[in-house]
Amino acid sequence: MFASIVVGTDGSATASAAVQRACELAAAHSSHLHIVSAYPSSAAPAVAMGRDPSSVTLDEHDADVCNAVERMLEAVRRQLEGSGAKITTHAVGYDPVTAILDVARAQEADLIVVGNVGMRGPQRKLGSVPDVLAHLATTDVLIVNTA
């Protein structure tokens, strides 16, 4: 049913719950799981204006932040080894919504999975990552109850 699933994470406990759910779905459907983590970078403004991310030169700080995010993603990938899902990680140097949507589009994802942080309770925010993804995605979105 799902050939390609994209899930976003920032390494938090709630995001880890969404990653776990996405991994379970990927294993059950023999899907390719793409785990995405975004980080702030000097490329973000250029990408927001439509520039191809691969054409933007990153500065030294960007490289340090990217390396830290890649290490976190590798730790997540190792935790999921043996799940039965094929896993690829993506550290993307711009905002979470754009990062998730771009990877989903590039990988022709059938499903995007995110946690529900920012969706309910007194801290609820319009414009939270799951809220915006639910409105902008051109594919199915599963918002996991991670609370």
Whole domain around residue 10: which residue ranges?
4-51+58-144
- Looking at the predicted structure, is the pLDDT value of residue 120 above 60? no
- Looking at the predicted structure, is the pLDDT value of residue 126 above 60? no
Judged by DSSP in three states, 25 sits in helix
Give residue-wise pLDDT tens across range 8-32: 999 988 899 999 999 999 999 999 9
The residues, any chain, with a CB within 8 Å of residue 66's CB and separated by 6 or more, are: 39, 41, 58, 91, 93
Mean pLDDT for all residues in the chain: 86
- Rounded distance between C-alpha atoms, residue 112 and residue 104, angstroms: 7
What is the count of structural domains for the chain? Answer: 1
Average pLDDT score over residue span 38-53: 71
- Rounded distance between C-alpha atoms, residue 83 and residue 71, angstroms: 20
Average pLDDT score over residue span 34-56: 75
Percent of the chain with pLDDT over 70: 81
Residue 65's domain is classified under what CATH number?
3.40.50.620
End-to-end CA gap in the chain: 27
Residue 36 amino acid letter: V
